[in-house]
Amino acid sequence: MILVTGATGKVGGQVAAQLVAAGVPVRVLVRDPRTAALPEAVEAARGELVDVVRGDLTNPASLTEALTGEVERAFLMWPLDGPHGAAEVVTALAAGVRRIVYLSTRGVPDDDSAPLGEDILGTHAALERRVRGSGVEWTLLRPGGFAGNTLGWAPQVRAGGPVRLAHPQAARTLVHEADVATAAVRALLTDELVGAAPELTGPELLTQAEQVAVIGEVVGRPLTVEKLSREEARADFLAAGLPPAYVEGILDAHAAMETDPETVAPGSSELLGRPALTYRQWVTDHLADFR
């Protein structure tokens, strides 16, 4: 049995669904089993392949029930701001499983002596160090920017636009959450990625303005872009609930990507066993969110 955290989210939900499709028993950790919004295929398999248990990563003691029985491997994502509590969570997992697959991010330094910032990379670096030092088998998945983050534009698209951006020429290689899950499932079910930290991106480089254009093409109506100042963009991110250190890191990264764009990870196809999914495919898969 495999324990999946974050199963009500984009990547964790895909991990659980792909494991169920492969006939693998799954235990999903949720705050409230009665109200958890699980993917349809996962919900349909409750009581057969899927065991839904109550637990919360903010309370490591609550993991005890989730780790009882025949759980052998765990998919861990970290949804919290900063690494506070990570040591206790990783210790609890390592006491109950023999492998942890951690959803990290591209750009985390391999040098353990590098200082840990308070931004997104610093949080993931802290988690990676905990997982590698846990004494169990591990894989660190390092995807690039998530296509799913552009769902933040959906309300503006549904309203007819414009889409508000501080850095419309920031170029990224956005990855479909289904691809991240495919890599995670490989790491969970085979020994091929034990001790590895593979990078994964989408197959193409698109500016944010080009991403908006793709959404417009798939939705069936043209969309325009409204350029924001950094101050306006900061206010939007803060209003969305992101912590200040994360907001500054995102804005700095987007500014840098205008002149130094992301690159396509060369091993993505080999990692997936097929070509990575395009951003257009991602938009098509999420068309209902934009209409």
Reported as a single tens digit per residue, the pLDDT across 124-167 is: 999 999 999 999 999 999 999 999 999 999 999 999 989 999 99
pLDDT at position 240: 85
Tokens in use for 103? Answer: 């959803």
Same fold, 2-143 and 145-175+202-263+275-291: yes
Please state which CATH number belongs to domain 145-175+202-263+275-291.
3.40.50.720
> What's the confidence (pLDDT) of residue 130?
96
What local confidence, expressed as pLDDT, does residue 215 receive? 98
Q: For the chain, give every domain's residue range.
A: 2-143, 145-175+202-263+275-291
| Helices and strands, number each (H, E), in the chain | 13, 11
Which helix (H) or strand (E) segment holds residue 18: the answer is: helix 10-21
What pLDDT was estimated at residue 81? Answer: 80
Contact in structure between 177 and 141 (CB atoms under 8 Å): no
Residues 185 and 171: their CA atoms lie apart, in Å, by 28
- Whether residue 117 has pLDDT greater than 80: no
Confidence of residue 120 (pLDDT cuts 50, 70, 90): confident
Region 236-256: mean pLDDT is 89
| Contact in structure between 200 and 143 (CB atoms under 8 Å) | yes
Query: What is the residue-averaged pLDDT of the chain?
Result: 94
Measured CA distances, 153 to 48, 71, 109 (Å): 37, 38, 30
In Å, how far from its chain's centre is CA 43? Answer: 21
Q: Per-residue pLDDT averaged across 108-133, rounded?
A: 88
Which two three-digit tokens encode residue 95?
A: 């006491």
- Confidence grade of residue 168 (pLDDT, cut at 50, 70, 90): very high
Cα dihedral sign, 18-3-37-275: negative
CA dist list (Å): 284 to 64, 88, 246, 266? 40, 40, 29, 25
Strands (E), 224-286: 225-227
**Under CATH, which number does the domain 2-143 receive?**
3.40.50.720
